[in-house]
Chain A
Amino acid sequence: ILNVEQSPQSLHVQEGDSTNFTCSFPSSNFYALHWYRWETAKSPEALFVMTLNGDEKKKGRISATLNTKEGYSYLYIKGSQPEDSATYLCASDSGGGADGLTFGKGTHLIIQP
Chain B
Amino acid sequence: DVKVTQSSRYLVKRTGEKVFLECVQDMDHENMFWYRQDPGLGLRLIYFSYDVKMKEKGDIPEGYSVSREKKERFSLILESASTNQTSMYLCASSFGTYNEQFFGPGTRLTVL
Interface residues of A (CB under 8 A from B): 1, 31-32, 34, 36, 42-46, 49, 51, 89, 91, 93, 96-106
Contacts and interface: CB of A to CB of B under 8 A. Distances in A.
Contacts of A34: 100-101
B100 A96 contact: no
Given A98-B48, A100-B33, A100-B35, A93 B99 contact: yes
- Which applies to chain A's interface (DSSP): helix, strand, loop or mixed? loop
Interface of B: 4, 30-31, 33, 35, 40-45, 48, 50, 56, 58-59, 90, 94, 97-106
B106 to A, nearest CB: 7
A99 B31 CA distance: 8
Q: Which of B35, B43, B97 has the most CB of A within 10 A?
A: B43
Given A43-B106, A44-B90, A100 B45 contact: yes
